[in-house]
A = this chain, B = another copy of it.
């Protein structure tokens, strides 16, 4: 029985989960793979606090180099998160001939190019199944299961916190702030949930999905990112009345020779499976040329689901290391049909728009006149009853329109005297 030695850096939530799984499933994994994955070292700044796993204290160390420089360690698991010093840990591990497993989407999304090429130059691998979609084997599926396929689009609900909040607003008719409060109470939102709510976490994951699906490592700057913090209960409810759910969607879409890469709140028709993804669950919907349209759904976060993904990477690496196999290209190949990224201004789609206007004659005529001037045609419109303030919400769904045209039209409408506050526009996707 070949033993693969691993060192874990980061004895936090996921780290403990990995240790728990490797301990509990030791004999099962051995039977399944013919290999033993042996925890040789566990490194953390804090090696004293009690965790919910038992581990031989002799394995614990505060010295990162005791892991990254241990000649007996085959694979280093990086679970520190963030850019620095996680990046340095990974580089050092690679430099010392170790392969790396990480859940660090932020680091890979922002500095993946350097890290992946550094690894490749040393004939070592960086595996990162846990970085997107928790325990959902989406990375393996894109890379191996769908290896024969090219992709037309990838749509993902990849941030559990945002999805919890939006589902909650829709299901329980509560405000964004109430839903956020509940998410915090349940441990589904961090103290500072900015990365999650403003769409950055989704953008990091999308960058990795785009890398896998289209072979391009796009820069964060090239991803249009809009979060959910401005989504109001009113919009959630109006959207519902019109047959839609609002979801924070990570979108990669190939349109002729261009690729759109964007994250924003999106209206999805209720009939679509993505609209039914509730709570902290994640789902990735993929359109492929041969295998068709596929959905991968599961808990997107959580100690053990991420740990499950880390262990699957460890098993793969262990088998490869045993066989002396190095998958240099990670089964990734650049889609050369794509010539450039499409800017958000140039995308075309339908929109949900809500205007708040004073209840005066001619308002609708003015609004629709401006929209017409910008070539935006209206698919449906509902004028709601006004409240005390005599301000009426006018809710519209447009036909296909260019984002730039829409923005110009809305800017002009927002300046009308009859308009009380800036229009809210949310993109609709025909997934």
Sorting the interface of chain A by its residue count into under 10, 10 to 19, 20 to 34 or 35 or more gives: 35 or more
Q: Are B311 and A147 in contact (CB under 8 A)?
A: yes
Those of A153-175 within 8 Å (CB) of chain B: none
Q: Are B145 and A137 in contact (CB under 8 A)?
A: yes
Please name all residues of chain B whose beta carbon is closer than 8 Å to the beta carbon of A411 when the two chains form the complex.
none
Please name all residues of chain B whose beta carbon is closer than 8 Å to the beta carbon of A72 when the two chains form the complex.
none
Determine the distance from Cα of A304 to Cα of B146 in the docked complex, in whole angstroms.
12
Q: Are B135 and A146 in contact (CB under 8 A)?
A: yes
Q: Are A308 and B327 in contact (CB under 8 A)?
A: no
Q: Are A299 and B291 in contact (CB under 8 A)?
A: yes
CB distance from A412 to the nearest CB of B (A): 41
Scoring A residues 303 to 341 as 1 if CB is less than 8 Å from chain B, else 0, what string do you get?
011011101100110011011110111011100000000
Q: Are A304 and B316 in contact (CB under 8 A)?
A: no
Determine the distance from Cα of A289 to Cα of B311 in the docked complex, in whole angstroms.
13
A298 touching B298 in the complex, CB below 8 Å, given contacts A21-B290, A135-B290, A145-B141: no
Name A316's closest neighbour in chain B (CB-CB): B144
Which one, B29, B291, B292, contacts A147 given CB within 8 A?
B29
Determine the distance from Cα of A140 to Cα of B291 in the docked complex, in whole angstroms.
14
Those of A319-368 within 8 Å (CB) of chain B: 319-320, 322-325, 327-329, 331-333
Determine the distance from Cα of A271 to Cα of B145 in the docked complex, in whole angstroms.
29
Q: Are B296 and A292 in contact (CB under 8 A)?
A: no
Determine the distance from Cα of A103 to Cα of B311 in the docked complex, in whole angstroms.
29
Q: Assess whether A134 is interfacial by the CB under 8 Å rule.
A: yes
Name A334's closest neighbour in chain B (CB-CB): B31
Determine the distance from Cα of A80 to Cα of B78 in the docked complex, in whole angstroms.
47
Please name all residues of chain B whose beta carbon is closer than 8 Å to the beta carbon of A144 when the two chains form the complex.
137, 140, 144, 312, 315-316
Q: Are A304 and B324 in contact (CB under 8 A)?
A: no
Q: Assess whether A83 is interfacial by the CB under 8 Å rule.
A: no
The listed residue with most B CB atoms (<10 A of its CB), out of A31, A277, A320, is: A31
Please name all residues of chain B whose beta carbon is closer than 8 Å to the beta carbon of A29 when the two chains form the complex.
147-148
Please name all residues of chain B whose beta carbon is closer than 8 Å to the beta carbon of A8 when the two chains form the complex.
none
Determine the distance from Cα of A290 to Cα of B299 in the docked complex, in whole angstroms.
10
Q: Are B288 and A308 in contact (CB under 8 A)?
A: yes
Scoring A residues 128 to 144 as 1 if CB is less than 8 Å from chain B, else 0, what string do you get?
01000011110011001
Which one, B33, B148, B293, B298, contacts A292 given CB within 8 A?
B298
Q: Assess whether A400 is interfacial by the CB under 8 Å rule.
A: no
Please name all residues of chain B whose beta carbon is closer than 8 Å to the beta carbon of A320 when the two chains form the complex.
323, 325
Q: Are A312 and B146 in contact (CB under 8 A)?
A: yes
Please name all residues of chain B whose beta carbon is closer than 8 Å to the beta carbon of A291 when the two chains form the complex.
134-136, 298-299, 304-305, 308-309
Q: Assess whether A276 is interfacial by the CB under 8 Å rule.
A: yes
Determine the distance from Cα of A137 to Cα of B136 in the docked complex, in whole angstroms.
12
Name A331's closest neighbour in chain B (CB-CB): B32
Please name all residues of chain B whose beta carbon is closer than 8 Å to the beta carbon of A136 when the two chains form the complex.
145, 291, 294
Return 20 A-B CB contacts under 8 Å, by A number.
Answer: A31-B329, A31-B333, A33-B147, A33-B327, A34-B329, A134-B291, A134-B292, A140-B144, A145-B312, A147-B312, A148-B307, A271-B276, A290-B304, A291-B299, A292-B298, A295-B295, A295-B296, A296-B296, A315-B331, A323-B324
User: Known pairs A32-B329, A148-B312. 14 more at Cβ < 8 A?
Assistant: A21-B148, A29-B147, A134-B291, A134-B292, A135-B294, A136-B145, A136-B294, A141-B145, A148-B315, A273-B276, A292-B298, A295-B296, A319-B325, A325-B325
> Which 8 pairs of residues, A with B, have the shortest CB-CB distance?
A137-B145, A135-B291, A323-B325, A294-B298, A148-B311, A295-B297, A290-B308, A292-B299
